[in-house]
């Protein structure tokens, strides 16, 4: 069964770092992304990477987060630095087969059809 499994979440103080990972059956040839959601907010795109390695980031994480993919280990990673309390959320990994009509690394959740269960990130001030 194809599935995505996130790991690496936890609690950290403001200014700290965390590295999230998403294990997949395969990450090659897929567009993948990280989203986050809190009980008070809708799910929002954080970062995405397409099958060719092109990336996109939400403005609120640019310069702080880095998305990467390890094809040999079939993992998607999100390195998060300079965390602040506003980054507290459940983080989800998502995947889709590339859409030739809408190529790239979108940050809209409607573009993705496979989701993990999420990993909680809590940043304290």
| Tens digits of residue pLDDT in 113-123 | 999 999 999 99
pLDDT at position 80: 98
- Say how far residue 113 (Cα) sits from the centre of its chain: 14
Q: Could you tell me the two tokens for 37?
A: 């959601």
Residues 45-86 pLDDT 10s: 999 999 999 999 999 999 999 999 999 999 999 999 999 999
Sign of the four-CA dihedral 40, 36, 23, 15 = negative
**Separation of alpha carbons 16 and 71, rounded Å:** 27
Other beta carbons less than 10 A from residue 59's beta carbon = 6
Give, as one character, the DSSP assignment of residue 63: T
pLDDT at position 99: 87
pLDDT band for position 1 (50/70/90)?
A: low
């Amino acid at each position: 069964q194809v599935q995505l499994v996130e790991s690496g979440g936890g609690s950290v103080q403001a200014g700290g770092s965390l590295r999230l990972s998403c294990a997949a059956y395969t990450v090659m040839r897929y567009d993948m992304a990280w989203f986050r959601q809190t009980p008070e907010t809708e799910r929002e795109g954080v970062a995405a990477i397409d099958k060719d390695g092109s990336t996109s980031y939400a403005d609120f994480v640019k310069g702080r987060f880095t998305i990467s993919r390890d094809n040999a280990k079939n993992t998607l990673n999100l390195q998060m630095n300079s965390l602040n309390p506003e980054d507290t959320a459940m983080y989800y990994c998502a995947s889709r087969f590339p859409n030739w009509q809408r190529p790239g690394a979108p940050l809209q959740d409607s573009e993705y059809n496979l989701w993990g269960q999420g990993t909680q990130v809590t940043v304290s001030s």
